[in-house]
Amino acid sequence: MKMELAKHAPARATERHVDRLATLEVAVLMGGTSSEREVSLRSGEAVARALASAPEAGAPNGPARVRSIELAPDGRWVLDGRGADPLVVLRELQPSTVFFLALHGGRGEDGTLQGLLDALGRIHTGSGVEASALCMNKHLTRLALRDAGVRVASGRLVTTAAWRADAAALLRELAALSSTGFSVKPNRGGSSVATSLLDGAEGLRAAIETVLATGDDALVEERIRGAETTCGVLGNRGGALRSLTPVEIVPKDGRFFDYQEKYSSAGAQEFCPPRSLAPKTVARIGELALLAHAAAGCDGYSRIDFMIPRDASGVEGEPVALEINTLPGMTARSLLPLAAGAEGLSFRALCVELVALALDKAAAQRS
C-alpha cells in the first residue's frame, strides 16, 4: 500500500480551493433514523453555524451559502421547512453543491447515503461507500486492521441465529476468550448505545441479549484495561494524511466512555495532549491511526479509538484499536474538534478544510 503519511501538517486543501470555497453552496445533512439522531442534529447545527460564520483573520471566505437539511424519521428531507422526497430536494440544489454529512450511524454513515450521492455525481464530505460500509461493521473492521498490522482485541461476533441455535455452547466458548473481562457491543451501532463492560463471564448472557434486542449482532471482545484514547486523521486516499494529537479520555470512576459520558456536560474529562501517556505511546497512536485510516480506505477524515493496555506496574503496551468512526461527532463535546483545536485549527477552519478535502476527492475522481 503506497501512501504519503504526515504527522505535521501538509499543505491544507483549503489552500488549493480558496477561490472556489468563496462561491460554494454547502448543504449540511443531519438527523436520520439511527439511535444517534439527536447527536447528529447537534453536530449538524454546529457545523452549519460555523460554516456561515465570519472567518477569522487570514482565513478563507466562504462558503457563499449554507443550507441545513434535516433527514426526518419518515425518510423525507426537510429543506426550508418543507419536507419532500430526497430526489426532489436534490433537484432544488445546485449541481455544484457540496454536501456536508453530519450524520452518525445507520444509513447516514454505513454507505447508503454515500451511494445515493455518488450515483448522482454529488460531492460530499467524508468517505465513500466501501470505507463507510466497512467501518460501520466493527467485526469486519477488526479483520481489516489486524491484516494491516494493527493490534485488535480477541473476540467473536454473535449473530441472532447462532445465539438461538445454542446459546449455552456459545457462552462456554466466549468465557474462554478472556480472563480480564469482556466488552459487548452492537456490531453496527455507535455512541456506545447498548454497550456493556464486564469484569467476568457472569453477565455475558444479559449483555448479549441486550444487543441482540436492538436488531444488531453482538461483538464480544476481550476487555482491555488501561487508558482510553482516540486519534483523528485528516486526508484522502492517494494524498497526504495527517494525524492529529491523540485525546486521552478519563471517564468518571466506575464508568466507561458511554453515551452519557460522551455527550453530557458533566461527562468524561478529555485531555489533548494526553496527560498520562508516554511520548512514545502518543507517537505510536498517531502512526497506527494513519495506518488504520489508509487500510480502511477512508477519505476526508476519520477518528480511530484505541485502548492502551497497562500492566500491574503501569507499563504501557501496544495500542489496541477498537473501531474507526468515518463520520465522528462535531458537537461542542466532540473529540475531533478538540484535537484540531489543540493544533491551532478552529472549529470553523476544520469544517472548511473538510469541505475542501471533499473538493479534492471529487477532482481526483474526475482525473
Report, as residue numbers or ranges, the catalytic residues.
36, 191, 263, 303, 305, 323, 325, 329
- Return the C-alpha cell found at 46: 454546529
What's the Rg (C-alpha) of the chain?
20
**Residues 6 or more apart in contact with residue 286 via CB below 8 angstroms:** 7, 231, 243, 245, 246
Annotate 195-236 with DSSP letters as a single string: -EEESSGGGHHHHHHHHHTTTS-EEEEEPPPEEEEEEEEE--
Q: Tell me the C-alpha to C-alpha distance, in Å, between residue 102 and each of 45, 70, 131.
A: 9, 10, 17
Q: Which of 224, 221, 223 is nearest to 208 (CA)?
A: 221
Q: Sort residue 240 into left (φ over 0), alpha (ψ -120 to 50) or beta.
A: beta
**Residues 6 or more apart in contact with residue 361 via CB below 8 angstroms:** 123, 236, 299, 300
The H or E element spanning position 324 is strand 320-325
Cβ 319 vs Cβ 306: under 8 Å: yes
**Residues 6 or more apart in contact with residue 301 via CB below 8 angstroms:** 125, 126, 232, 233, 234, 235, 328, 336, 354, 357
Q: Are strands 269-271 and 247-250 parallel, antiparallel or unpaired?
A: antiparallel
